[in-house]
Amino acid sequence: MNSTHTPRIALVGAGLGGLVCARVLQRHGRQVTVFEREASSGARSQGGSLDIHAGTGQAALRAAGLLDRFRSLSRPESQGWRLLDPATAAVLPVPGPPAHDDDSPEIDRGQLRDLLLDSLTEGTVRWDRAVTGVTPLGDGTWRLLFDDGSTEEADLVVGADGAWSRIRPALSEATPGYNGVTFIEAGFDDCDTRHPALAELVGDGTMLASAGSRALLAQRNSNGHIRVYIAFRAPQDWQMAADVAVDDTAAVRAHLLRMFEGWDESLLNLVRHNDGGFVDRPVFVLPAPHTWEHVPGITLLGDAAHLMPPVGLGANLAMLDGADLAHALIAEPTVDDAVRAYETLMLPRSATAARDCAALLDDLLPPEAA
């Protein structure tokens, strides 16, 4: 960017996409600030394991200069899938989904986020700074509004703040909608010692058993943890019809066991014996394609731009978005040229990916089977 004025770049959200963007910019001597509503990096669990694809997530990490470090932390042995018969738990002699790069080692989302955070200049992320919205200043710059009443001004605001983005309304009237699928999350700690039969059932990577509109997925994480997703098609308020409260572990367990009646007992143990309770995770998506008319000084990346079903592409695309935006800001003569170049690349790519993800979810849980 050939200007004597150093652009004020404000990234809203310290997720993977925003952090990749910040890291690539800093590698090229550019200034950037990340505003994050969480109080600290350890304020909440970052979720499960991610398979990082060679053509997207790994490409972004290479641009960030972190690919070797990622390789040292990742688990190549965990990228495999086991497909089991629901009635017998027999391993089926066909490869499991998803169809993507063969080189897709797993890493816990929290480990990957920490890797990115540690790579940034101290003070880049300003924690406990919740952005509530933005307003245009009429000259292509923007004012960020914070929940404590304070404000900041920027030449470029990047909404990297996820599904319920506070930046998206400045560009688009679209809001996420429930797509008819719910994932109930459960977990097992120290599986190899405390739950050896389940550890053997799941294997080193991801296990899937599905029938009709129901599926059980179990995923190896680091440190012997197994994360389970109990997936089904149902109304978003399925708890009301079932007359259960999500925080009533015994009632939810009984309801799920009835839902999966007839499945092999070893698979049902993924529902019977989890450590702790259950977490309700309804699947929300943005319309596909989700596009907007270019507006100077503001753009989106990751889930803020293209929230799609969680079938293995979202985090990878968010990181690639971050790297592509950073590269455009480095290469193009003005901020506006950079944002136009980035959106021209990202929007068609994300539209295709969103359709592919919707198709993958429909293959896993056919709508007509609900």
Given a cut of 70, the residues of the chain with pLDDT beneath it are 1-4, 43, 46, 94-102, 370
Question: Is 177-285 the same fold as 9-51+67-75+107-176+287-369?
Answer: no
What is residue 80's predicted lDDT score, i.e. its pLDDT?
A: 78
What is residue 311's predicted lDDT score, i.e. its pLDDT?
A: 86
**284 forms bridges with which residues in the sheet?**
178
Fold of 177-285: D-Amino Acid Oxidase; Chain A, domain 2 (3.30.9)
What is residue 210's predicted lDDT score, i.e. its pLDDT?
A: 95
What is residue 50's predicted lDDT score, i.e. its pLDDT?
A: 87
Q: Give the neighbor-by-neighbor strand order of the sheet with 275-285.
A: 81-83, 206-211, 214-220, 226-233, 177-188, 275-285
pLDDT digits (tens, 9 = 90+) for 275-300: 999 999 999 999 999 999 999 999 99
The token pair that represents 192 in the structure block: 């190899």
What is residue 46's predicted lDDT score, i.e. its pLDDT?
A: 67
Domain ranges of the chain: 9-51+67-75+107-176+287-369, 177-285
The reply to whether omega before 98 is within 30° of 0 (cis) is yes
Superfamily name with CATH number, domain 9-51+67-75+107-176+287-369: FAD/NAD(P)-binding domain (3.50.50.60)
What is residue 332's predicted lDDT score, i.e. its pLDDT?
A: 97
Distance CA 170, CA 183 (A): 30
What is residue 42's predicted lDDT score, i.e. its pLDDT?
A: 77
Distance CA 72, CA 74 (A): 6
What is residue 21's predicted lDDT score, i.e. its pLDDT?
A: 98
Return phi, psi of residue 157, to 5°.
-110, 125
Contact 295, 141 (CB under 8 A): no
What is residue 223's predicted lDDT score, i.e. its pLDDT?
A: 85
